[in-house]
Amino acid sequence: MKVPKVDVSRFDYEMQRLLGQLAHRSNDTDLLVRVCYELNIRSYHNVCVEIAQQYESEWQRLHDLTFELILASGLNRAHVLENLADRLKSSQSAHDPLLLRNLALIQYYLEQDELALATLKRALAISNFKPDSRTYETFALIHYAEESFQLCIEDCDRAVLASGPSARCIRLKGLSLFELGQKDKAEAALILALEKEPHFVWACHSLAEHALHDADLARAFRYFGKATYVNPTDPGSYFIPAEAFMDMKEYDLALAELHKLMLFAPDPRIEAEVHNGLGYLYLKKDDLQQAENHLQKALALEPELGVVHYNFGRLALMRGRVAAAERHFKNALEHDPGSGESWVELGFIALNKDKLPRAKRCFNAAIDLEVSESHAHMGLARLARKRKDAPSQLFHAQKAVEHAPDDGDVLNELGIAFECNEQWNEAATAYQAALDADHDHAKAANNLGYLYEKLMIQDGADPWRQLAIEAWRERLQICLRQKNSTRTATQHLRKLGVDRQQIRRWSRGAS
């Protein structure tokens, strides 16, 4: 067997040593499984696949090797898994529990969770079968995907007591504990996973994500640094911080992370995702030509990547090309039927054309895919407003906030719904919450100012006049920060009795 054609100097000393041993002992199957496991721990999945494929004739016999091959192939090699599943199902050893375990893992990666659980139960029913850690790992992966976090934890605990490696399950336990709100126990489990496997890249990523959740950037980047030391080519070490920077609206920093990944000449699938990410970021920066350039590159590499078609739809909307946007969103759904955001965009397009039944179908399709799709509920709230159904409008706006309590757009929509239901104080609170969530939410500042002016007319000037001034002052400063016209804000402030000199002072304070 040949050592993989990679820059061996990138590997840590222990991995170099194992690869060197395998080059001289290629028939040592225990060493072979160990090498593939260690490569997966380090997220060198492509190298694991390259080695395992050289033993293709042994896949139905070397079950643990096949398990590691499936794990390495699971993220972006669906066709490989489908072919391997066919081979395993046609095997004469169909009653071999470890073969069934491997088949269940393939079914999990092909998103056939119920079938995977049934296959695992068939394996457990075979007499004298003592499940190993990889069997419980397969159970844990399925239960985690189904959000059955307590069952996942129980699977992971069984894996620790069974034969075989358990670090991956300990990490899964940590992720499940985090989902259940047990943050300290979650972090302890993740640290334990990293202690058991000091080169475990996914554990580093999980610890970094938890640090980001706590807004502890220094700790997060210590773990990203460790992951990058182990495997500088792993996409997660760049995608995860890029997404974190996107959430912070630090778009230039996110761009930098993605450009770093391009230095390692990733495989076409990853390169397409990088170009898609770059396209999305340039959309956020209103650089539409750069966005189009990167999205075109992504589409050339992976024509069936649904999210690229979705982002092309967003680009078309920003250019005012509604018909083109509609085509792109439909293409996104053709390639990715689970694209709830595409249904949402189609719903808003229909709503803007006053095609209300069609809009309702689109928004409900998004909710059927993901009940927590907040912007679909927001769309239904706007639809109800068009129908002058204020109670339904408020119901859907509250549903949207329930699923996205920190989304400025959703909170602003809640304010509008309260206002349409003549719940003035609640409306003001919602608009202010939108501004607290997004300090540059111009529409919320507008709505708050208009609301207070309306209340001035209804109830007399005090105390609404001063509140209206504060709202329009906020709108003025948002316009200045965004380099937009201040005319409307200035007119309202003047109407409320604020002199031009004071407005100029406020303007200087915002610059």
Residue with tokens 């992971």: 156
Please, what CATH class does the domain formed by 338-426 belong to? mainly alpha
Single-letter amino acid code for the residue at 43: S
Q: What is the pTM of this model?
A: 0.84
Distance CA 228, CA 240 (A): 12
% of the chain residues with pLDDT over 70: 95
3-class secondary-structure state, position 181: coil
User: Can you tell me the distance from the alpha carbon of 130 to that of 91, in angstroms, rounded to the nearest whole number?
Assistant: 21
For the chain, what is the largest distance between any 2 Cα atoms, rounded to a whole number of angstroms? 90
Residue pair 150/139 in contact (Cβ under 8 Å)? The answer is no
Say what the pLDDT of residue 511 is.
Answer: 46
Q: For the chain, which residues make up each domain, given as ranges?
A: 338-426, 439-511
Tell me the pLDDT tens digit for each residue of 24-73. Answer: 888 899 999 999 999 999 999 989 998 988 887 776 678 999 999 999 98
Tens-place pLDDT, residues 192-235: 999 999 999 999 999 999 999 998 999 999 999 999 999 999 99
Residue 257's pLDDT is 96
Give the contacts of 134 (CB within 8 A, at least 6 positions apart): 64, 67, 101, 164, 165
Q: What's the CA gap between 153 and 176, in Å, rounded? A: 7
Q: In the prediction, which pLDDT does 443 show?
A: 96
SS3 284: helix
Which 8-state DSSP code applies to residue 272?
H
**Count of CA atoms in the C-beta half-sphere (13 A) of 37:** 16
**Which token pair is 152?**
């996942």
| Cβ–Cβ < 8 Å for 288, 275 | no
Measured in whole angstroms, how far is the alpha carbon of residue 475 from the centre of its chain? 32
Token reading at 137? 């790992």
Count the neighbouring beta carbons within 10 Å of the beta carbon of residue 458.
9
Close Cβ partners of 37 (under 8 Å, ≥ 6 residues apart): 64, 68, 165
Does residue 413 contact residue 394 with C-beta atoms inside 8 Å? no
Structure token pair of residue 54: 């050289």
Q: Write out the chain's pLDDT in tens, 511 residues.
A: 555 555 677 799 999 999 989 988 888 999 999 999 999 999 999 899 989 888 877 766 789 999 999 999 886 555 667 777 777 666 655 678 999 999 999 999 988 999 999 999 999 999 889 999 999 999 999 999 999 999 999 999 999 999 999 999 999 999 999 999 999 999 999 999 999 999 999 999 999 999 999 989 999 999 999 999 999 999 999 999 999 999 888 999 999 999 999 998 888 999 999 999 999 999 999 999 999 999 999 999 999 999 999 999 999 999 999 999 999 999 999 999 999 999 999 999 999 999 999 999 999 999 999 887 899 999 999 999 999 999 999 999 999 999 999 999 999 999 999 999 999 999 999 999 999 999 999 999 999 999 999 999 887 767 899 999 999 999 999 999 988 999 999 999 999 999 999 999 998 865 4
The amino acid at 300 = A
